[in-house]
Structure 1
């Protein structure tokens, strides 16, 4: 198990943070039977693959991908049922199935990638890295959705968000949440995922509203969110060798774990155990940061990632 050696921050020059950067252009790529929507950030170096969280999309990585494009080419995936990737009939939205889709996409590069995952995408990325170590060069986990069965309702902008995860009453609560307008959904996302929603630029808020409007027109989006929520909770309750806590020690790749100290969704108290469970894991806790550090603190996250890559090159991770 890893010890708590501090995760270094790189001093390398980064491009100026441009929050006016629109979402990177998207294209559809064939992954098994899916037409998966990918947003590509042109860059230098090996590929980086970004996996969003529950209710998110490839646009969650716009700013971080821009910060790192001098070092990698970025590929942010819309998981089936999210963003613009329509799921095929029979897709079950379990974490294992999402992970299989990511594996199939990463296999197309013919070389290992720098893999990133936030929240549910972090849990998916752990499965990928643990089961297919040949595909992962390094792993970066931003508030990964490791099992946390003690939700703090008082810390949430809308307690129904947590109740929607529960059996029996969850279906009714999800129907209530489905009535929210795109503006309501964006407001709740900001309050739930950011430590300080006031730091989010107006153009990013407008992009989120537009994305929620598009999602409201998709016949499959609601089912994808509901069933992926159930899939995540089911995996949290999975005992034995398939538990995420059992998979973390199987990850061979150098791994950076990033957590916001004001994460309202998956508590930062899970950070130390997560990092200790990873053979080559290190933890960096970011002050005044919520659940989506790559969106709230993209420059700091980029420096932490570059710090890992530089340490790996020196064989010092």
Structure 2
């Protein structure tokens, strides 16, 4: 899979998520949705979802950036439409290896765009492989915060013996539709703007992810991996990796994010050399969904004019 140009298409066909294909990434097999390039100047970009999410979270943003980015939104192993890995791949370093292996499919540096835990994955790839990355966009990156928000603490509750089992059983008692509504409501802020069609699509995507038989195992393993990464300090920690980033970077935060406090924005600006930082009022954890126009505009400014 090398950089190629396809015919114009500014929105997914029939209003659904972009079609995709299965790709080999080292020992892993992952599903990637593809939004075709809309101009000769567009170059490849890899979109990385957050914990428990999937590639469909990027549907509209991929279409809006099609004249600059030939988009590939991946389902990390065990999530979305990607099968569970034969060997563990749920820690941030392991997921970063998946993305690094995907870079081998391209003959040119790519744009990396990540949300939440996917932003942490993208950051580690950019820090380790700057020669393969053109720009880095971090949306609600999960930087360690020693004063975590209540939602972050609650996220690890399923790992607690007995309590976790009860929580999982309680959740399973709800219909997939109700679970999807609860997930979306818990991630978005009061300033979110989702058109009816887009709102319905996001709910359908979350419901489909909930239906993945590997999700429960993958989610718990990924939470363990996220906690391990969150607690790392020194040169192995995420803040240290951020300081090693040398590519043009945009970091997006929301004031209503239940997981990431907006005070992290200031430290991000101090840590990543030359980083652009955008803080969106009333926006939660999914800025690419809640404020996609603003996010798309900021990414365009980061990328610069098309060469096509």
TM-score range, shorter-chain basis? 0.7 to 0.9
- Aligned in 2, Cα 1:169/1:266: closer, same or farther, shift over 3 Å? farther
- Which of residues 203, 212, 229 in structure 2 aligns to 1:218? 212
Aligned to 2:78: 81
Q: Give the superposition deviation at 1:84.
A: 0.2
Residue 30 of structure 1 and its aligned partner are, at CA, apart by 1.6
Instruction: Describe the superposition over 1:125-166 as per-residue Cα deviations: whole angstroms up to 9, x where unpaired.
Output: 11101111111100000110111343333xx5xx98435266
Residue aligning to 2:3: none
Which segments of structure 1 move beyond 6 Å, counting only runs of 4 or more?
A: 15-18
> Aligned partners of 1:134 and 1:179: how far apart in 2?
48
What TM-score do the two structures reach when normalised by structure 2? 0.87
Pair 1:265–1:170, CA change in 2 (3 A):
farther
For 1:247 and 1:175, the matched residues in 2 are separated by: 38
User: What aligned pairs does 1:37-116 form with structure 2 within 5 A after superposition?
Assistant: 37-43=31-37, 44=39, 45-116=42-113
Determine the C-alpha separation between the residues in 2 that align with 1:255 and 1:220: 33
Matches within 5 A, 1:142-161: 142-153=139-150, 161=154
The 1:282–1:212 alpha-carbon spacing in structure 2 relative to 1, beyond 3 Å, is: closer
Counterpart contact for 1:178–1:222, Cα < 8 Å: no
Deviation at 1:312, TM superposition (A): 12
Alignment pair present for 1:230 and 2:227 = no
> What's the CA shift string for 1:207-249, capped at 9, x where partnerless?
3444444444433111111111111111011122110011101
Secondary structure of 1:69's match?
Answer: coil
For residues 90 and 191 of structure 1, do their structure 2 counterparts lie closer, same or farther at Cα, with a shift above 3 Å needed? same
Aligned partner of 2:194 among 197, 200, 207: 200
Of the two structures, which has the highest relative contact order with CA contacts closer than 8 Å and spacing of 6 or more? 1
Flag structure 2 segments of 5+ consecutive residues without an equivalent. 1-8
The alignment status of 1:247 with 2:241, answered yes or no, reads yes
Q: Corresponding residue for 1:257?
A: 251
Q: Distance in 1 between matches of 2:225 and 2:163?
A: 13
Closer/same/farther in 2, CA of residues 297 and 212 from structure 1, 3 Å limit: closer
Contact 1:151 1:162 survives alignment (8 Å)? no
- CA distance in 2: counterparts of 1:212 and 1:196, whole angstroms: 19
The whole-number CA distance in structure 2 between the counterparts of 1:72 and 1:25 is 16
Preserved CA contact (<8 Å) 1:190 1:197: no
Q: 2:25 aligns with which of 27, 31, 39?
A: 31
1:164 to 157, 161, 170: 157
Structure 1 residue matching 2:263: 3-state secondary structure: helix
Preserved CA contact (<8 Å) 2:191 2:281? no
Match of 2:271 in 1: 277
1:267 partnered with 2:261: yes
Q: Deviations over 1:154-198 (max 9, x none)?
A: xx5xx9843526655663344544444312221222222111387
Secondary structure in 1 matching 2:114: strand
- Distance in 1 (CA, whole Å) between partners of 2:62 and 2:192 is 22
Q: Does the CA-based 8 Å contact 1:182-1:213 persist in structure 2?
A: yes
Q: CA RMSD in A?
A: 2.7
Task: Work out the CA distance in 2 between the residues paired with 1:23 and 1:271.
Answer: 31
Cross-structure match for 2:6: none
Asked if the contact 2:111–2:134 (Cα under 8 Å) also holds between the matched residues in 1, the reply is yes
Residues 235 and 298 of structure 1: CA distance in aligned 2, closer, same or farther (over 3 Å): same
For 2:266 and 2:192, locate their aligned partners in 1 and report how far apart those are by CA, in whole Å.
29
